Amino acid sequence: MIDVEDLIALVRNYNPHTNADLIRKAYAYGRKMHEGQFRHSGEEYFSHPVAVAAILTEQRLDDATIITALLHDTIEDTRSTYREIAEMFGEEIAELVDGVTKLTNLQLNSTETKQAENFRKLFMAMSKDLRVILVKLADRLHNMRTIRSMRPEKQLGKARETMDIYAPLAGRMGMQWMREELEDLAFRVLNSEARNSIMRRFITLQRETGDVIHKITNDIRLELEKAGIEADVFGRAKKPYSIWRKMEKKDQGFSRLSDIYGFRIITENEADCYRVLGAIHQRWRAVPGRFKDYISQPKSNGYRSIHTTVYGRDGKRVEVQIRTRQMNEVAEVGVAAHWAYRDGERTENPFLVDTKKWINSLAERFDNADDHGEFLEHVKLEMYADQVFCFTPKGDVVKLPRGATPLDYAYAIHTRIGDSCVGARVDGIRVPLWTRLKNGQSVEIITAEGQTPQSSWVDIVVTGRAKAAIRRRLREEDRERFIKLGRELARVAFDHVGKKATDKALATAAKQLGLKSAADLLARIGAAELPARDVIEALYPELDQGGDEVEPKRAVVGLEPNQTFKRAACCQPVPGERIVGITYRGQGVVIHAIDCEALAEFEEQSHRWVDLQWHSGTHAPVNIVSLDLTIRNDAGVLGRICTLIGEQHANISDLHFLDRKPDFFRLIVDVELRDVEHLHAIMLALEAESDVASIERFRDVGRKP
């Protein structure tokens, strides 16, 4: 464990004016509070807060953050209280310690609904003081560095949480070095075999080619000397997880993956960045499509640098990053630079943006999200975003995540423009809406009155804003359509029992079923979320509508006395068809049509077969049969289909769509009918309808009895 004087020395290296006495006081207090506590490794527990504080000194952070690190587990794990810390160390530090405690208590890898709510709390805590998340990230980094002492199942949970939440969050905060280390530590747990394989390949590659990094670094320095440019050059092999991700993304083996080395050139000023770029491109051939200028168009977290990839020694791809010293500071420590010291003084970095504004805007944007899943999706999209920059026809810049489409661009401009989008021109050329935009392109959106979002758009866009706007508009349109359909289904169901679907009856049914209004009731019926016959049962429980689970006892001949039966869901046999029964222990007999494909699995179990037949005579219209319909997508068509079925004295018990196309719908309609003749009559009537493209009986062997 690091001694208190050694810790103070680490702080004094960058902040000679540090309050050493307060750090000593915090060190002694934290050690006393954690006395008798030990880590899984057997070490004294207080070694962990001290290690977290040491990590934060590497980022040259202020005294309050260092002291918070020393005390960050006291409120949660000891008898210490907020008031006691406030009295001893001040309100600022007490607030920070309390904030870290609240973050620790959030179970970010829990169920989706709870996870979304915890994300809200996470961003609220961060918006109050970003130093809270800096301490939490350092806490997670040390825990991952020492994760081997935990139980295997605990390691997996922590590693997944780190990979999903903390690593991308560190990246979004501009702390790229921490993101890479967190990813690699999690990768070591989640897929140690893959990581070890990459490490072995590296060793083999170094044995075959020698020290490539040293050679290329010298090549670059030589070119800069020729151009008279003063700059520092650093080279490194990329982290195993970064290489693995490239292999997965490009579906390439290690031997074909060439850009596994990265080089950084640090200059004195911005002008030299572009001079370096010129020297590099004059000496080596640039790889097309691999140039990004984040100096002229910075990332939203303040990151600035020029990225280019060239063909270096032996034709190997080499990735080069060019930036000034101040830009490099932002790239290395990100948001931590707000509290960092340089030469003993707090300094303002001109390239540092206010990450707090990003967090506040994110929390505000999704504060009223309609559903938890959407909120969670948007948060993760924001955290993982790697931006591209496009131009409006007037020359304004629009920032979008990598992979964004013209539809994302349209919704970024205004929701109204997105909703009415019918096409796009990129650099003056008409392109499909699913085209992936690239840096520097000029985009023009073509709109038309009457255009509305299509359901397929959700899969085209990548931004949370666009997805939310499309889904919201689709819900509005679906609701109107479902209400109309639900009204027709309700009318048919009410007519079936000799009743009228009046507004009062529907409102009463809605109240009985716990819904807000008759409109909600109709929308749920139209969306196939509520069978119309459930509405009838709620209003008229005395009416026996029957069902496919319980049928008249004498409907089938050949059963033992008191032996129960039900129709198989896979083939849905109806009176008039040849049938056979299969016995199930505890379930009675399940009746199948004689030609049902599901019977093949019972060929070797003849003792379970029962010879059955339908009782002669008239049967009640309680036998549900599923019909597979393809109908024209036009106003009123579905209503006419429902009416046609009702005219055949049959009831629609359920309905759901399999596919929606601009010109046709494919749907499954569950119809209650008497027998096979009734079924043929309904299918014949539907087949004769000009708006019906095809109709057939829907059978699904995968359905359970």
- Considering the entire predicted model, what is its pTM? 0.53
Q: Helix axis angle, 532-539 relative to 503-512, nearest 10°?
A: 90
Q: How confident is the model at residue 379, as a pLDDT?
A: 56
C-alpha 624 chain-centroid distance: 39
Torsion, Cα of 638, 433, 373, 389 (10° steps): -160
> What's the pLDDT tens digit per position in 224-243?
999 999 999 998 877 888 77
Nearest-angstrom CA–CA distance, 312 and 326: 28
Q: Which two tokens stand for residue 381?
A: 């999209």
Contact 451, 457 (CB under 8 A): no
Q: Using CB atoms within 10 A of its CB, is residue 85 exposed (0-12), middle (13-18) or buried (19+)?
A: buried
Residue for token pair 């055949």: 648
The angle formed by the CA atoms of residues 488, 494 and 496, to the nearest 5 degrees, is 105
Write b or e for each residue in 325-337: b if 16 or more Cβ atoms lie within 10 A of its Cβ, otherwise e: ebbbbbbbbbbbb
DSSP code string of 501-553: --HHHHHHHHHHTT-S-HHHHHHHHHTTSS-HHHHHHHH-TTS----SSS--G
Nearest-angstrom CA–CA distance, 257 and 255: 6
In this predicted structure, which of 104-113, 131-140, 434-443 has the lowest mean pLDDT? 104-113
Q: Looking at residue 162, what DSSP letter applies?
A: I
Q: Choosing from 77, 84, 478, 691, which is the catalytic residue?
A: 77
Nearest-angstrom CA–CA distance, 237 and 239: 7
Q: Which two tokens stand for residue 571?
A: 């083939």
The two beta strands, 588-593 and 565-567, are parallel
Q: How confident is the model at residue 255, as a pLDDT?
A: 47
Beta-carbon contacts of 153 under 8 Å, excluding residues fewer than 6 positions away, are: none
For residue 436, is pLDDT > 70? yes
The residue count for the chain: 705
| Among the listed residues 43, 19, 34, 41, the one whose alpha carbon sits nearest the alpha carbon of residue 150 | 41
In this predicted structure, which of 64-73, 300-309, 416-425 has the lowest mean pLDDT? 300-309
Write b or e for each residue in 484-497: b if 16 or more Cβ atoms lie within 10 A of its Cβ, otherwise e: bbbbbbbbbbbbbe
Nearest-angstrom CA–CA distance, 364 and 383: 15
Q: Choosing from 43, 44, 76, 180, which is the catalytic residue?
A: 76
Q: Report the percent of the chain where pLDDT is more than 90.
A: 22
**For 157, what's the count of Cα atoms within 13 Å in the CB-facing half-sphere?**
9
Q: How confident is the model at residue 129, as a pLDDT?
A: 74
Nearest-angstrom CA–CA distance, 327 and 302: 9
Please give the domain boundaries of the chain with CATH numbers for all domains: 4-190 (1.10.3210.10), 199-346 (3.30.460.10), 553-614 (no CATH)
Query: Which H or E element spans position 673?
Result: strand 664-673
Q: How confident is the model at residue 549, as a pLDDT?
A: 40
For residue 641, is pLDDT > 60? yes
Coil/strand/helix, residue 631? strand
> What's the pLDDT tens digit per position in 18-37?
899 999 999 999 999 998 88
Going 327 to 331 to 334 to 339, the CA torsion angle's sign is negative
Nearest-angstrom CA–CA distance, 403 and 400: 8
For residue 365, is pLDDT > 60? no
| pLDDT band at 113; cut points 50, 70, 90 | very low
For residue 517, is pLDDT > 60? yes
Helices and strands in the chain, H and E counts: 28, 22
Query: Which H or E element spans position 693?
Result: strand 692-697
> What's the pLDDT tens digit per position in 665-704?
889 999 999 899 999 989 888 887 888 888 999 988 666 6
Over residues 270-294, mean pLDDT: 89
Mean pLDDT of the chain: 81
> Cβ–Cβ contacts within 10 Å for residue 452, how many?
12
- Based on the residue annotation, tell me whether 76 is a catalytic residue of this protein: yes
Q: Which two tokens stand for residue 263?
A: 């080089």
Coil/strand/helix, residue 485? helix
> What's the pLDDT tens digit per position in 31-63?
999 988 888 888 898 999 999 999 999 888 889
Q: Which two tokens stand for residue 171?
A: 């990246």
Going 45 to 50 to 56 to 61, the CA torsion angle's sign is positive
Q: Which two tokens stand for residue 690?
A: 């000009």
Going 670 to 672 to 676 to 677, the CA torsion angle's sign is negative
Question: For the range 342-349, what are the long-range contacts, defined as Cβ-Cβ under 8 Å and sequence gap of 24 or more?
Answer: 342/14, 342/60, 344/14, 344/15, 344/16, 344/17, 346/62
Q: Helix axis angle, 464-496 relative to 532-539, nearest 10°?
A: 50
- Based on the residue annotation, tell me whether 700 is a catalytic residue of this protein: no
Contact 366, 378 (CB under 8 A): yes
Q: How confident is the model at residue 705, as a pLDDT?
A: 59
